[in-house]
Chain A
Amino acid sequence: MPALYVMIPAALLLVGVAIYIFFWAVDSGQYDDLDGAAHSVLFDDHDPNHLAATDEADAPQQSPTDSPRA
C-alpha cells in the first residue's frame, strides 16, 4: 500500500492543475461559443474544389463586381 502515499498527493496535484486549466479556458472564452466550433470543422478549407475556386478568384485580383449600393 505505500504506493498510495505517493498516488494520493499526485492525484490531488493533478486535480489542482486540471481546475487551473479549466478556469483559464473558461475565462479566455473557450466555452463562449459552443455552436461555432462544432460546425467549423465541417467547412474544409483544403477541399480541392474550394482551393481551385479560390485560386481562380485570386489570379485576377478584382473587386467584387456588384453595383454600388447606396
Chain B
Amino acid sequence: MTSPCYHCALPVPSGSRFTAMILGERRELCCLGCQAVAEAIVAGGLQHYYQHRSETSANPDTLPVQLLDELALYDRADVQKPFLRRDGDLAETTLLIEGISCAACGWLIETHLRRLPGVVEARLNLSNHRLHLRWADGQLPLSRVLSELRHIGYAAHPYQADRAAEQLAGENRLTLRRLGVAGLLWFQAMMATMATWPQFNVDLSPELHVILRWVAMFLTTPIVFYSCAPFFKGAMRDLRTRHLTMDVSVSLAIGGAYLAGIWTAITGTGELYFDAVGMFALFLLTGRYLERRARQRTAAATAHLVNLLPASCLRLKSDGQSERVLLTELALSDRVLVHPGAVLPADGVILEGQSSIDESLLTGEYLPQPRHVGDSVTAGTLNVDGALTVHVRALGHDTQLSAIVRLLERAQAEKPRLAQLADRAAQWFLLGSLIAAAVIGLLWWQLDPSRAFWIVLAMLVATCPCALSLATPTALTTATGTLHSLGLLLTRGHVLEGLNQIDTVIFDKTGTLTEGRLTLNAIRPLGKLNSDQCLGLAAALENRSEHPIARAFGRAPLPAADVRNAAGLGLEGHVGERLLRIGQPAYVCELSGCPPPAAPEHSGQWLLLGDRSGALAWFGLDDRLRSDAPALLAACKARGWRTLLLSGDSSPMVASVAAALGIDEAHGGLHPDDKLQVLQRLHAQGRKVLMLGDGVNDVPVLAAADISVAMGSATDLAKTSADAVLLNNRLDALVQAFSLARRTRRVIIENLLWAGLYNGLMLPFAALGWITPIWAAIGMSVSSLTVVLNALRLTRRPRAALAPLAKPPVAGLSRAGLE
C-alpha cells in the first residue's frame, strides 16, 4: 500500500507520480491539485505550515471551481458595492474562506496575504472562517487576492452578513457583557459584604457598616437588572406557560436575596446576601455562556454558504457570442452555454449538444446520466463531458433545487425535540425544594414569625440550582471539544444527549458509505495485451481529458498524441504509432469493424479500450466502499440498532452494498420526499432515528431526523441542515462519538446527582436556621467546582478504537485484475 497524500491524506491512486519537495523530503501526493497547492506553499516560503498543522488539509479538488473570467467579475464596481467598504485608497472587505482545517491554515493565509503588495491588514477569524482584509485595491485587484488564496488551497467568497447572523453576533456580545459585568461587580460587592460578616468583622464602626451595606447594594443593582435580566424574562415566560424551570428557581433566589438585602441595607437588621446574588449571576451566566458556545460551534462559516449554484454563467448573446454574467443577471428564456465540468445555473431544456450529467448530489445516482437535445436538465447538477446550450426555463426559487430546499424547511419545522436530562431533573428538583420551602416556612411561622422569612430565604439561596445548571453545560462543552479534536463537529446541542436515545440508523449510500467518486476496480483484458499494458494505454488517453472518470486511471507512463474527445462516446488518440479509442463499445469497435464484445455482468460503468485490430480490454469503474464503513456498521449492530440504507441510486449497487455491510433494510431509487416518508413511518413507530448523509437529496431527511450527521465532503446545504459534521470524512470518529456520548451521559448524571445531593444536604441545615451567608457561599462554590472538575474528565480521549479491521472482500467490488 502507498502512503496517503502528504497534503490531503486521501489515498494516493496506484501509479500516481505526483510528488513535491516538502520540508526537505520528496512527498507523495494524490493529484495535480494537491501538487500545485503544495508547490505554491513551498515556493512562498510557507512550508512551515506542514509542521504546524494539526489536521490534514482539504483536497483542493473538493473546493468549488474558480473560473478566471468569473473572478474578473468581482473587480466590477457594481458587483463589489454590497460587500466592499472604501476608505481613501484602501478597500475593506470580509471574505468567507472554505477549506480551513486547523489553526495552521489561519497562519498560512494571513502570512501569505500580508506579504502581497498593497495588503495592509489580513486577519482570519478561526471560529467563523471569516477573513477581514484591508488593502489598496488600486495595486491589487480583488480577483488577484481570491486567486492567490486559491493557489495555496483555499476558496474565498465575498461575505455579506445576513440579518440572522448579525443578530446572533449581537446576542453573543450581550451575553458576554452580562457575564463581565456580573464578574467585575461581584468581586467588589463580595468584599464590601464580607467585611460586614461577623467572621471577618474586626473593628467596623457603625457608620462604615452602613456605608459598606449601601456600597454593596449599589454594586449589586446592575448585576440584578442588567446581568440577570434573562433569568427573570425566562421565568416569566415559563410561568405563563405553566412550566417549572430552572429560571423560576434562580429568579426566586436572586430576587429574594436582593430584596432582603435592600431591607437589610436600609434597616440594618437581618442577613446580607448581596454576595450570593453576584455569585449566582456569575456561575449561572458562565454556564449559559459555555453552553451557548458549545451549541453554536457551528461551522457558522458554512452556515449561509448555500452555493450549490455557480456565481456566474456564460450567456449567449443574439449573435452567438458568449459573455460571462452573474447568475442574478440571468433571465428566463436566456440561452446559456455550459462547458464540460461546469455546474448548470438554472433549470432548462437542452437546445444543442449532448453530454452526460452528474446528478448524484440531487438524486443519489452515482453514474452520470446521458442527456440529449430536448431533454430537461436541473440547476445544481454537473455537466460532465460535452458542451451544452441550455434554454433557461426556471430560475432561483422556481428550480427543482429550491423545491428541495423548501422541503427542508418543512422538515425542519417537524423535527422532534429530544428530551434533555437536565430539564427533567430540574422539574422534579424544583418542585421538591419549593414545596419544602413552603412547608418549613409555614412551620417557622408558627414557631417564630420573625425568623420565618430569613429561614425561607436561606433555603431558597441554599437550593439555588447553581451546580445543577452547571452540570450539563460543562459536560457538553468539554465533550464537544473532545469530539471536535476527533473530527466530529457538533453544530447543535442535543446530539450528545440524544445519541443515547437512538435506536435506528439511516445511511445514504453515495458519498457516505462509499467514497462517492468513481475508481477503477477491474480490468478484463480481451486480447493479446496484459492488464498492465492496457492500463498504461488507457491512462495515456484519459490523462488528456478533464472528465471525472479520467482521474480514476492515475498518471500514465506513456504520452498520448492527438487526443480528441467525442462527447458522450469516448476518447480517441495516438499512443506511439497505435491509434486507440476508449469509451462506449460501439464507438470503440467502429475503429476495427469488429462486433462489440458482451459487457461483463457486474454493476458499474464499463469502458472498452480498442485499436484498429479489435477490442483490447474492459475497464470497470465503480464507487468504492469507505474502508471504515464495516467498523461503523459493526458498532451500530453492537448497540442493537436497526440499520437502513436509503439511496436515490437505482442501480443494483444498493443491494450489494447492503449485503456486504449486513444492513437490515435497503431501498434504492428513492426521491427526497420518499426518503422523508420512510423517516416519518419510523417516527410513527416511535423510533429515534440517526441519519448519516451527504447529498442535497438527503437534506430533508437530515433536517427531520432526530439526529443527523453530514459528511465533511457534503454539500453546504447538507452540512447546515445537519446536527453534526464529520469533518475529515472518517466514519470511525462517529464510532468514538457513540462511546463518548455514553460517558457524557454518565458524567451529566453524576453531576446532577452530586448537585442534588448537595442541595438535599443543605436543605435540613437551612431549615433549622443554621445556614448563614458564609456557609451558603462555601457550599455553593465547592459543589459548583466539583461539577466542573468532574466534567473536565471528558477531555480525555476515548481509548483508541480496536485494531483497524482488515478490509473485508466485498462482493461485486473486488479489485480483481488490478493487483
Contact = CB atoms under 8 A, between A and B. Distances in A.
A51 B211 CA distance: 61
- Secondary structure at chain A's binding surface: helix, strand, loop or mixed? helix
Given A12-B188, A19-B184, A26 B107 contact: no
A70 B69 CA distance: 10
Interface size class of B (residues with CB under 8 A): 35 or more
Q: Which of B36, B204, B219 has its CB near the most chain A CB atoms (within 10 A)?
A: B36
Contact of B45 (A23, A34, A53): A53
A56 B44 CA distance: 9
B446 interface: no
Interface in B191-215: 191-192, 203-205, 208, 211-212, 215
A13 to B, nearest CB: 11
B106 interface: yes
Contacts of B211: 4, 8
A33 B44 contact: no
Contact of A47 (B48, B68, B106, B177): B48
B127 A36 contact: yes
A35 to B, nearest CB: 5
B111 interface: yes
A64 B215 contact: no
Interface in A1-51: 1, 4, 8, 11-12, 15, 18-19, 22-23, 26-27, 31-36, 38-40, 42-43, 45, 47, 49-50
B220 to A, nearest CB: 12
Contact of B150 (A55, A58, A67, A69): A69
Contacts of A22: 177, 180-181, 184
Contacts of B35: 66
B173 interface: yes
A28 to B, nearest CB: 10
A57 B215 contact: no
Nearest to B174: A26
Interface in B33-89: 33, 35-37, 39-40, 43-48, 52, 65-68
B184 A15 contact: yes
A65 to B, nearest CB: 6
Contact of A70 (B40, B68, B107, B124): B68
A32 B47 CA distance: 28
Contact of A23 (B128, B150, B177, B293): B177
A19 B180 contact: yes
B489 interface: no
B48 A50 contact: yes
A26 B40 contact: no
B42 to A, nearest CB: 8
Q: Main SS of chain B's interface residues?
A: helix
Given A53-B45, A64-B40, A43 B52 contact: yes
B661 interface: no
Interface string B93-108: 0000000000110110
Contact of A8 (B176, B204, B215): B215
A70 B151 contact: no
Interface string B113-126: 00000000000111
Of the listed residues B33, B45, B293, the one surrounded by the most CB atoms of chain A closer than 10 A to its CB is B45
Most B CB within 10 A of own CB, among A8, A11, A66, A67: A66
Contact of B48 (A53, A65, A70): A53
A55 B742 CA distance: 52
Interface in B439-462: none
B33 A69 contact: yes
B142 interface: no
B43 A57 contact: yes
Contacts of B150: 69
Given A36-B103, A64-B151, A42 B68 contact: no
Contacts of B173: 26-27, 31
Interface in B145-181: 150-151, 169, 173, 176-177, 180-181
B44 A57 contact: yes
A39 B45 contact: no
B44 A15 contact: no
A61 to B, nearest CB: 10
Contact of B177 (A4, A12, A26, A56): A26
Contact of A45 (B44, B111, B128, B180): B111
Contacts of B184: 15, 18-19, 22
A59 B687 CA distance: 65
B50 to A, nearest CB: 11
A68 B36 CA distance: 9
Given A26-B176, A33-B125, A65-B39, 16 more contacts: A4-B211, A12-B188, A12-B215, A32-B125, A32-B128, A33-B126, A34-B127, A39-B104, A45-B111, A58-B45, A65-B43, A66-B37, A67-B36, A68-B68, A69-B33, A69-B150
23 contacts: A8-B212, A8-B215, A19-B181, A22-B180, A23-B180, A26-B173, A31-B173, A32-B169, A33-B127, A34-B127, A36-B125, A39-B103, A42-B52, A43-B104, A43-B107, A47-B48, A57-B44, A58-B45, A64-B43, A65-B39, A66-B36, A66-B40, A67-B32
Sorted nearest first, the 10 A-B pairs with minimum C-beta distance are A39-B103, A57-B45, A66-B36, A64-B40, A36-B126, A54-B45, A43-B107, A33-B125, A53-B45, A22-B180
